[in-house]
Every structure is written in C-alpha cells, then in structure tokens.
Structure 1
Amino acid sequence: MTPQDAWNAAYHQLELQLDRASFDTWLRSAVFLGYEAGIYLVGVPNGYARDMLQHRLYRNIRRVLSDVAGENCELRFEIYKGDVGEPEAPASDDMPLFKFMAQQPPAPAPEPKSLHQAVIPPQRPDLPESELNARYTIDRFIVNQSNSVVYEAALAVSDYPATVYNPFLIYGGVGLGKTHLLQSIAHRCAERGLKTVYIPSEVFTNDLIDAIRNRTTAMFRDKYRTVDVLLVDDIQFIAGKETTQEEFFHTFNALVNFNKQIVLASDRHPRELATLEDRLRSRFQGGLVADIQPPEYETRIAILQMWAQERGMELSSNVVDMIAHKAPNNVRELEGIFNQIAAQSRFSGGAVNFNNARETVERFRRPREHVQLDDIIQITADKHGLTIEELKGARRTGKINRARQIAMYIAREMTEYSLPQIGEAFGGRSHTTVLHGCNKINDELESDPILGNRIQKIMHSIRRGG
C-alpha cells in the first residue's frame, strides 16, 4: 500500500467516525501532499484548520492512519493553495491578535527519532467551561415585586433564546442573585439540547491568553463562536483590558450575526463602566438591561423557609425573623448565616435554640479580615497529618484531596478572598477547582454530621490561632 492509498483509506474511515460538522469544517478539504521521512504531509486551506487538526484531532487521525498503514505514522499539516501552491494569506476577518499570530512562522514539526518512533505533538485539552451549580435552578429563585421583571426576562430568554432579548444584561450589587439567574438560564438551555457555555469574564481572558501562548486560535474560536447560548458573569472585569475587549467585541458580533443568545451580568449599569469601550457599551445596551434589587424582608423569610424545608430543619418563627433582620443586604450573606446555623443544628441533633442561633449570627458578622489563607492551610494540614507542601502540591491521593477541599471550603466560609485568590494560595489552582471542592463539601455536610463537626473544630482552632 502506497502512502497515498493509506491516506485515502484513512480519510474515508475518518469521514465515518467523526461527527459531520467536525469532518466538514476541518478535514473535508484536506489533501495528501507527500510522504517524507515517515511523516505524512497533509495540506489544509487555512491556519484555523491546521491548528485544529494538529492540536485537537491529531490523536484520532494518527490512530486511524496507523491502523490502515500497519505501522506507527506521524503527520504534519501545512497550509496550501490549490493543489500544492504557496501558503495562503491570513483571512481578512481575523481578530487582531490572531492576525499577528498568523504572521509568525509556524512552530517546527517534531523531529522523528526514527522511521517508526517520532515525537507526538503535545495535546491540549478542550478549553474548560466553568462548572454549573446544581442548586442554581430557576425553581429555587424566589420571586418578589422588586425582581419580577428580571425573573420573567430570564424565563423568556431560556424559552426563546435570541428571539426576545438579545443581549440580556443583568446588573446589581454583590450577592443579589445575578449568578443564580445566569446559571438558571444555562441549565434550562442545556436541558433543551442547546450548546451552552457559562463563564466568568476572567475565564474568557485566560482562554485568550492560552490561545495566544499555545497557538490554539482555532480552538478558541470554536469554543466561543459555535455556541447557541453564551453567558458571561462579571462582565465589568473586561473594562480597561483593551485586548480582551477587542476580542470579545468580535465574538459578540459573530454570535449576534448568527442569531445566538448572549447573556451578561455586571455589578453596574454599562453606562457606569467608565473604561468600557463605547462600541461595547452600546451593544450591551442594545437588548434588555435589567437590574436586580436586594431582597425585601418577606422575600428573605421565604428564602430561609425554603432552605430549611430542603434540609429538613425546624426553624422557629423568631429564629427566622432574627436571621432575616441580621442579613438585609444580600442573599449571599443570608446563606452564609443560614449555613452556620444549619451546621449547629446538625451538631446538636435537634431544633435550633434561639440564643445559640443569635450567638452564631453575631459571630458570623464579626470582621473576618484577620483570618489569613496561610493560617487556614497550615492548621488544616496539621489536623490531617499533612504538610503545607502536600496540601498545596500536585498530588491527588484521597486523603490529600479531601483535606484540600476542606481547606478551600473553610477559606471561602471564613474569608472575603475570591475564588481565584483562594486557588492561587493552593498552588495556583483554577477558580473552577475551588468551586468544585467547596460545592462538594457543602453537599456532603447536609448528610454527614461527622464531617461538619470536624470542620467546626478546625475553624475553632483557626479562630484561636492554632
């Protein structure tokens, strides 16, 4: 079998194995150019296809080709024009940074060690989306007079994406439910089979940086330009970041032009984001901009009663009233206080005592800035018989991973540090890793009083300084 025959046979097998969209987009126009020193040279029409095939689909193509040829095969994808013509110029609609990258010489192909043993190009996983919280569903969002408009709009966007409000931007203060609503929309759209991506804006920036550094521009575009619904939380953080704004502008236009839904959340109205480019500000205000207000007293009562019912707790009316009055500003603070009291209830094995609940609330509301992440890591490691290096390192044994998740959970409960800041303190882990760990511990606390008791003892030691 000649190399041409092997490629033809592999090509037809790949047409059957890959999904239609991937094959048509990236491999349909590929042609066999030649065979040199054990490497199959394959021509593709542009840099996007080359990047995708070299970095994302390489293993699949190599495996099929090796099976057909009866030996380990390597491939190199090159831009071609016509049959074997000169390299094609970058496409005119490239985003600015990708234009620059297209002008750079391609990364050298790996040198084969021998005819049958070559260096496999490093594989990079798909760009990750942020994890959705299973509790952030639309049926758990308590509706009141002040947030009924934003709630109804969220329902409409979920049921009729890119039809009624596009873009849809929610703004309001910290802990009022913006993330809850965005993830509710994401859940409903994903359940309907729509390709849905929810991310904080920092993930978009980080993915862009990775795409530039790793030359995975096709993956970047494939992730953000082929979705049905894109939801971006904390969009205010792209203000002042010129490159991120430039690339988001093109992503925004591409999605809207293809009638795809965009949902955004911000802590302020777009007109108040002073360092946001005018062209983005005008686009953000081109759909529906809705604010979300702090929950009224009656709403806070309803939220507390829902949480108590979900956990099978008995809260007297005076305890519920006391909690509602102590956390008037946002739902996040309300939830923090409730979780502390719920933990107390599990430890005592019965109903919540009013005096104990009041003490818990007062302790929760004390300033927490004096608690440092280093102290949490040190004391949690000590309590589990581990070193700081083990807790922050790359090892993932069951014992270490469990202690690490507990420490992350405690850090989120006892400090005001953000998820990225906590992740950085734990060896540079991503905010999604921190969120996953915190959610896992939080879920287990509902049915594991022993775990809750252990965490309370660790937190008590942290407050005492060791």
Structure 2
Amino acid sequence: MTRSPDGRDEWERIKARLRVELGEDVFTSWFARVEFETLVDETVHLSVPTRFLKNWLQSRYRDRLLVLFRESFGTIAQIEFSVRSAMRPVPGAREANEAARRPTPVLVASNAEPSRAGTAPRAAATAGRDDEFAGSPLDARHSFETFVEGRSNGLALAAARRVAESRPGEPVAFNPLYLHASVGLGKTHLLQAIAHAAKAEGRKVLYLTAEHFMYRFVQALMAQSAIAFKEALRGIDLLLIDDMQFLQGKQVQQEFCHTLNSLIDGARQVVVAADRPPADLEMLDERMRSRLAGGLLVDIGAPDLDLRRRIVAHRVEATRKTTPGLMLSAAVIEWVAENVISSARDLDGAVNRLVAHNQLTGRPIDLEMAEAALRDLLRTREPKKVKIEDIQRVVSKHFNVTKADLLSARRTRTVVRPRQIAMYLAKALTPRSLPEIGRRFGNRDHTTVLHAVRKIEEMATADRGFADEIEMLKRMLDA
C-alpha cells in the first residue's frame, strides 16, 4: 500500500471503515469533525472542536482507533486528542484563550448571542467556544423531511411536528413530550428534527444527551459555576434530552428535576427520549418519573415490512446524491427489507455495507452480492436482551393484570399465577440472580422466586397447552 507522506490518506481510509462499521448517524455525530494532525514518535495526534467530543472519543473509541491505525501504520503506541480551539488560538485573543483552558464555566443556549468585546474574561471564553456550549452534536440530515413515516411512528412524528411548530408564548399542548423506543427506531432523529425546526423559528433551543448533561453539570460544579449553569438552562425555550436512561447520580438527577419543573411551570417545552417508559426507569427518582409520566408518552414501535421497504428506498435515493450511478434493484431492496428487521439503523447499516462493497470491489449490487455482504451482519446480530421490565409489561398485558398487582402482596389465583410466570421468565431469559429477581418483584425472598420457577416448570411438563402458552410469551418477548 502506498502511504501518504503525512498520513492523511490513511486517515481518510480509516474514516471510510468507521463509516461502514458504525453507520452514517454515529459516524457523523462523533467523527465528522475529527481531523488528523500529525504522527510523531509512534503517537497519532487527532484534533476535535470541543472538549466534550475529546472526552467522549477517548473513553469510547480510543481502542478501536488504535487497532485501525496499527493496521495502517504498523507500530503505533498511542493516540492523543487535542481541542482545536486550544491548538489554534486567534491572534489578539490571549485572555480569551487563557480563560478557555480553565474548567467549563457556563452552559448557554445554542443560539445565544456572542459576548461583546470588553466583557469579563469568562464571558470572552464563552464567546470563543460557542460550539462547545451548543449542546450535543446535531446531524443536519436529521430533519422532518428525511424522516420516513409509518404506522409504528406516525403519532410520534405528529407530536414532534406540533412541538417544533409552536411559537414562543403560545400555550404548550403537552409537556413534557416523552418518546420511548428500542435502539435505532428514530428517537434521536425526531429530537434533532425538532431542534432544527425550532431553531429556524428563532427559539432558544438546547439539545443534550443525558451523558452530556451529566458531564456539563459536573464541570460546572468543578468550576464553581453551578448557579450560572442552572440559570442558563432555565432561560431557554426548548430543552431536548436524549437517552434519559443514562442519567445517573442523585445530585445530577435532582438538578435535572428542578430544571424540568422550572421549565414546565414556566410554560417552556421539554422533550425527552429514552429506551423505555418512565415507570421502567428504576434508576430515576420517583418524583422525576412521575413528572415525566405527566406529559404525553409516545411509544415508537418496530418498523413493519412496508416501512422497512420505504426506509431502504429512501436511504438508497439519498446515497445516490453522493454516489452517482449507484444501482440497487427493487429485488435487492425487497430482500434487505425482509431480512434486516430490527431497526431503521440496521437498515442504514445494510445499505452502507452494500455501497462499500460495490465501491471497493466493483461488483454490482445484486442478490448474490447482498447475501454475501450482509451474511455476517445477520449472523452476528446479538439476540435481543430481555429486561425484567419487558417481562412484567408483557405478562401484565397477557393476563390482564397490572404491574402493581405483580409487585403486590395479593394472593388471589388471578395474580399469583401471572406473578410466578413472570418470575420464571425472568430466571429463564435474563442473567439476573434469584435474590435480584425477588427484589424486582416487590422485595420477595429468593426462595419465593425459586418456588415459582419450579412450579412453572412442573406445570409446563404436565400440561402441553400451558407449555405452549409459556413459549408464546417467550416469542413475544423476543420479537
């Protein structure tokens, strides 16, 4: 392989591999703004625009990048990340850059006005790093125009449009709007579409992942600027929080709950996304779960065949804009839609892989190539990880009891049998221990769980119809 003198060509090839491995959404969010700087003494130097992005890449992707660089360059000892604002200071802005190297002072809304000349050094630092205060990265392609609507996501799309089209000062129709779905079904796309549309209307918008929120709050505490952090958050028109299930820490949760209450009470809009409904977010404070559940909860379901087919066709059309001459037949699109069934993100990944194989090998994208290119993707996809909350929800719905019944001390037959089945399924389908399962079912002793498991096993052995019912519940949980 011919190597470029400065390594930039190899970096472009590494980025192409990351794009295929991670998918377009993840790649654009975390790697689109990463730049190759130098390779010195077996150390690769990369630069990023924000400190948050630097910390994220160091904690999540350093090892994978090290493997890829070693494949291209041979012996690579380490990878170093630098923040470009610190590397390339603007002439005449010494005070601002010195302030920028201090711990994060304040979080401001994404469209806040830059500070004027002559303000305090802290304000100057804020002005010099607006992009770091703009919240988590927004993907320009995540708009309402690029969102493919179907039966499983139509209500979520309608609610998101209503929020985005609201004008400042108008009554808030539902607050908060809470979207929940499994991975890759469009939650992030809708949140970012709301952010783009609302910003276009001149509203003060802040989009953050839960992890980004935690990071900024901790930074504010370290910089002794927590009060300014809180005031900045409460001064926006629209707050969007993604991946709420990752919000950890009692103090962070308390501050978020105060912010949530302040915004809602002030008729400011809040939109939250998570992988499960508020009642199942057991790591959250009960008051916060209650406040989140007090708005509009919308579940985004898995895409059906028709929606998957349209998602693949839409993705192909978008790719053709940057890859002229790309050819995918209707038969290939149909095959992908029928065989990649878990999420829209997997469908994107399948199209990315087909395009990459076409460009790298020159082979036409036909059914034979599609089957070969996607075989590994389909074969190695991890089975669905069943949660105890999923089991409780499915069993409650199937037997027409409530989750509260399953956790209660009631001993009626209509409650005891579903509870035992749920405990059995929790032991069979999750890695949780008997004591932990007991705690999740109303703080019961592990011997109670063991008795339930043995009872259901005996009934399934003696009654074929009962065994079939248990298998049906397992299939429902694996769907």
Distance in 2 (alpha carbons) for counterparts of 1:185 and 1:159: 9
Which residue does the alignment assign to 2:367? 354
Q: Deviations over 1:46-74 (max 9, x none)?
A: xxxx999xxx97973369xxxxxxxxxxx
Distance in 2 (alpha carbons) for counterparts of 1:160 and 1:261: 9
| Pairing of 1:48-67 with structure 2 (within 5 A) | 60-61=118-119
Which residue does the alignment assign to 1:234? 243
Which residue does the alignment assign to 2:349? 336
Q: Deviations over 1:396-447 (max 9, x none)?
A: xxxxxxxxxxxxxxxxxxxxxxxxxxxxxxxxxxxxxxxxxxxxxxxxxxxx
Distance in 2 (alpha carbons) for counterparts of 1:51 and 1:186: 21
The one-letter amino acid of 1:324's match is A
Does residue 1:271 correspond to 2:279, yes or no?
Answer: yes
Distance in 2 (alpha carbons) for counterparts of 1:343 and 1:261: 41
The one-letter amino acid of 1:311's match is T
The one-letter amino acid of 2:230's match is R
| Pairing of 1:100-115 with structure 2 (within 5 A) | none
| Pairing of 1:12-27 with structure 2 (within 5 A) | none
Alpha carbons 1:171, 1:267 under 8 Å: kept: yes
- In the TM superposition, residue 122 of structure 1 has moved relative to its aligned partner by 11
- In the TM superposition, residue 217 of structure 1 has moved relative to its aligned partner by 2.1
Does residue 1:209 correspond to 2:214, yes or no?
Answer: no
The one-letter amino acid of 2:281's match is L
Q: 1:170 aligned to 169, 174, 179, which one?
A: 179
Q: Deviations over 1:312-354 (max 9, x none)?
A: 2321122112211221111111111110101223335574122
- In the TM superposition, residue 206 of structure 1 has moved relative to its aligned partner by 0.7
The one-letter amino acid of 1:282's match is S
Q: Which runs of 5+ in 1 are unaligned?
A: 1-49, 64-74, 76-119, 370-466
Alpha carbons 2:209, 2:242 under 8 Å: kept: yes
Which residue does the alignment assign to 2:233? 224
CA RMSD of aligned residues (A): 3.0
Q: 1:137 aligned to 132, 140, 143, which one?
A: 143
The one-letter amino acid of 1:213's match is M
- In the TM superposition, residue 216 of structure 1 has moved relative to its aligned partner by 1.8
Does residue 1:199 correspond to 2:208, yes or no?
Answer: yes
Larger CA deviation: 309-318 vs 175-184? 309-318
Alpha carbons 1:133, 1:183 under 8 Å: kept: yes
Q: Deviations over 1:91-117 (max 9, x none)?
A: xxxxxxxxxxxxxxxxxxxxxxxxxxx
Identity of aligned residues (%): 31
The one-letter amino acid of 2:280's match is E
- Change in Cα spacing, 1:156 to 1:51, as seen in structure 2 (3 Å) is closer
Alpha carbons 1:171, 1:292 under 8 Å: kept: yes
- In the TM superposition, residue 224 of structure 1 has moved relative to its aligned partner by 1.1
Does residue 1:182 correspond to 2:191, yes or no?
Answer: yes
Which residue does the alignment assign to 1:464? none
Which residue does the alignment assign to 1:320? 333
Distance in 1 (alpha carbons) for counterparts of 2:183 and 2:106: 40
Alpha carbons 1:142, 1:303 under 8 Å: kept: yes
Larger Rg: 1
The one-letter amino acid of 2:119's match is I
Alpha carbons 2:178, 2:271 under 8 Å: kept: yes
Larger CA deviation: 289-298 vs 274-283? 274-283
- Change in Cα spacing, 1:187 to 1:356, as seen in structure 2 (3 Å) is same
Q: Which runs of 5+ in 2 are unaligned?
A: 1-104, 108-113, 321-325, 383-479
| Pairing of 1:58-457 with structure 2 (within 5 A) | 60-61=118-119, 125=129, 128=133, 129-160=135-166, 163-238=172-247, 241-312=249-320, 313-347=326-360, 351-367=364-380
- Change in Cα spacing, 1:324 to 1:257, as seen in structure 2 (3 Å) is same
